[in-house]
Amino acid sequence: MASIPLLHDSAPPDDLAWQAVGWCERIGAAALLVAALPILLVAALIIWTLSGRTPLIAHRRVGWRGSELWMLKLRTMWNGPAPARAAWIEGIDDWFGPAQKRPGDTRVPNAFARFCRRHSIDELPQLWHVVRGEMSLIGPRPLTRRELRDHYGEFAAEVLRVKPGLAGLWQISGRNRLSYPERLALDLEFVRRRSLLLYLQIATRAVPEVLSGANTW
């Protein structure tokens, strides 16, 4: 775990252009969140009815500069009896779960849950993290400490120098079918080539990727 240092004091501040992008993102994310609220409410009600569990979960991830990030998602995985205690959000510290995702995952129990995952409806609550300045619309997806330790190693700190995002370079280049070495290579490419042009290219390609639902499960 020591190989993933906190970078609060050592990372250089963003320049004025990226600070402006950050504020535009926060305003845009707030507008998108308001627009998506009816979809989120309907989806949450369906999930609560189908699962008997909290419609929202918070996964522990590593955020910007090594900070802790409890990443919000709509629940799309459940099995076994529902817990007796009811709440709106369940915190999940799942080190192994992300690495176990595969087509036909039995933890995704029905067509509605699969639809939400395929078209990233389950990721919409993360707009709240963008509003709070914890995430960006475009950037490397936030990972668990185990994923960073086992698959990113010495490069983890470099990737953590930019805010995690809702969509990044590997999300438009194959998504879940990519191996961890391929994801690392694309995350490093994003960090090292980071520019407004690359940002716009990813943003433009992310929308049709989400609508198609290709390469995800």
126, part of any domain: yes
144, part of any domain: yes
Tally of domains within the chain:
1
2, part of any domain: no
Q: Give tens-digit pLDDT for 162-180.
A: 999 999 999 899 888 899 9
3-state helix, strand, coil in the chain (%, to 5): 55, 10, 35
User: Which helix (H) or strand (E) covers residue 30, if one does?
Assistant: helix 16-51
Main-chain phi, psi angles of 70, to 5 degrees: -95, 95
26, part of any domain: yes
CA 127 distance to own-chain centroid: 10
65, part of any domain: yes
54, part of any domain: yes
Q: Give tens-digit pLDDT for 7-61.
A: 443 334 458 889 999 999 999 999 999 999 999 999 999 999 999 899 999 999 9
Can you tell me the distance from the alpha carbon of 155 to that of 176, in angstroms, rounded to the nearest whole number?
Answer: 21
195, part of any domain: yes
4, part of any domain: no
pTM of the model: 0.87
Tell which residue, 198, 200, 125, has the closest CA to residue 166: 125
Tell which residue, 1, 213, 4, 8, has the closest CA to residue 111: 213
- In the numeric block, which tokens belong to residue 148? 């960073």
Q: Which domain holds residue 137?
A: 16-212
Can you tell me the distance from the alpha carbon of 9 to that of 28, in angstroms, rounded to the nearest whole number?
Answer: 28
